[in-house]
Amino acid sequence: MSAVHKQDWHHKGSSCCTPFGTCCLTWWCPCIVYGRTRHRMKNNGDMNDYSCCNMSCTGFTALTCVGFAWIMPLLNRGEVRAKYNLTGNGCKDCLCACCCAPCDLMQQDKEVAHREQGKPLLDQPGRADAMNYKPQWQQQQQQQQFQQQQPHYH
């Protein structure tokens, strides 16, 4: 079995001042950036149902109020690394989350946005099979098999 090569992060943690609007949002309302990143990850980049006041944002805010704001970015960073096969480890995740949480949050947000925007629609589960052309005789065979499998009610 061959080892899977880990990819480098596309966005560096030190590039946390661009874009400026996201930088300001991350420093003043980090819960919104965290919630946006989580939503984008869980929904494979689909931002249609996104709300800035979501459960991830609320959880982040609650932990911030009791002094544990670093926990959620730490855990999320591990998930980002796993999902996109990125370099790093738990120790580095902890350092990023504890030493400069806003820079860490912004790096995660930009990285997830970058990774999700590049995905073609055919990467979604079940999409490739639905788009295959089948000759008419195969379609008729499938339809007959389906009708035979259906229960008959009298």
Judge whether 81 lies within some domain.
Answer: yes
Q: Which pair of structure tokens corresponds to residue 100?
A: 């400069």
**What is the structure's pLDDT at 153?**
59
65 located within any domain: yes
Q: Is residue 60 part of a domain?
A: yes
Look at the chain and report how many structural domains it folds into.
Answer: 1
Q: What is the mean pLDDT for each group of 10 consecutive residues in the chain (154 residues)?
A: 79 80 94 96 92 94 95 96 95 93 94 86 52 71 72 59
Beta bridge partners of 86: 7
Contact 30, 102 (CB under 8 A): yes
Enclosing domain of residue 50: 20-118
